[in-house]
Amino acid sequence: MISIAIAIFWLVLDQLTKIILPKVMSWYETIEIIPGVLNISLVKNYGAAFGMLAGKSWLLVPIAVVFVVYLIVEREKINSIPLARWGAPLAAAGALGNAIDRAFLGYVVDFIDVPFFSVFNVADIGITIGIFLLLVGLVLNERNHKDGASDV
């Protein structure tokens, strides 16, 4: 149940930011928050991470849906692994958030601008942290099972 609450919270947070910011900012406008470190820059991302696969929404949306379906199908196994239990809903919400943008807008709304890195959004944070937690949880769980220990 907590997994569903996490996913819904993260998805709503993602979508609200993507609805509100275009109403209060112009596209490609930048607001400096911490000079040289953090800006709010409203951009349209037609690709995946770092703009890769630009214009391939027809491919990216089904990949996101398959990923979320996989997490749902494997939820019992995932929920038995504490780190994965926290990571799966974040990753799923992030994947769905960006898929919603791609399906309805044809692009993803990005706005968190770290000048020395990239421009991303709340969904991307969920995907990154979620997949990290999933992978670490699965690796530690596998290692513990090989060592005869209990789940991590």
Handedness of CA 80, 126, 100, 16 (dihedral sign): positive
Catalytically annotated residues:
110, 124
Task: Provide the token pair at 109.
Answer: 């709304």
30 phi, psi to nearest 5 deg: -125, 135
**What is the DSSP-derived secondary structure letter of residue 122?**
H
Beta bridge partners of 32: 39
